[in-house]
Amino acid sequence: MSKSARLHADGLTRCPWPGEDPFYMAYHDTEWGVPEFDDRALYEKLILDGFQAGLSWITILRKRDNFRKAFDDFQPEKIARYNAKKVHALMNDAGIVRNRAKIEGAVNSAKSYLKIMEDGPGFSKFLWDFVDGRPKVNNFKTTASVPASTPLSIKMSKELASRGFKFVGPTIVYAFMQATGMVNDHLVTCFCHGTCAGKHRAPRLKVK
């Protein structure tokens, strides 16, 4: 169903997908589409997007703090060393999505991430090079115009998969590109469309 941007009670026009949920609206306003260049944060988002497969993003977003605690704040160097005992503990953690394939996929992806970090200029540059280092700005008017995947997300998906990353299909990768600001898919009438590229993400305090 095609939807246009909607005017909210605070006088701001937003993309329709966060609805009236304050938690979801805050994510839309401050995170989604804001360029992310931190290596570790990009790994975290890619893994969470993999966990989202088959679910709604708001489900994952509400569990994000639980995921961060369960997965050592998504530090790849720690996740790469997870053993069967740790995987078993995660499978018993009701605070996250308990899917063995996705948990084991996060471990494999952490190992692939570390290899990219060791071999080249870093995970962030590896990803951002697909868009020549700057956000691709789209001008969609309705949600029906926004694609589920693109030739670029297919290309990135194939490259990530070839390097051992798991749950990185073209649709997952495109959602990841949208969320991390590699593409700006805020609807053209959304107040974030013209501002998100200029925003800077504040460094996040680590989970204790």
114: left (phi over 0), alpha (psi -120 to 50) or beta: alpha
CB neighbour list of residue 15: distance below 8 Å, 6 or more residues apart: 5, 28, 143, 186, 187, 190, 192
Instruction: Single out the residue of 104, 57, 110, 70 nearest to residue 84, CA to CA.
Output: 104
Q: What gap in Å lies between CA 33 and CA 184, rounded to an integer?
A: 6
How many other CB atoms are found less than 10 A from the CB of residue 1? 6
Confirm or deny that 186 is annotated as ligand binding. yes
Token pair of 163, please?
């390097």
Q: Cα 95 from chain centroid?
A: 19
Instruction: Single out the residue of 33, 18, 8 nearest to residue 197, CA to CA.
Output: 33
Confirm or deny that 8 is annotated as ligand binding. no
The H helix count followed by the E strand count for the chain is: 9, 4
Confirm or deny that 88 is annotated as ligand binding. no
Confirm or deny that 28 is annotated as ligand binding. yes
Known binding-site positions = 15, 28, 186, 190
Known binding-site positions for Zn(2+) = 15, 28, 186, 190
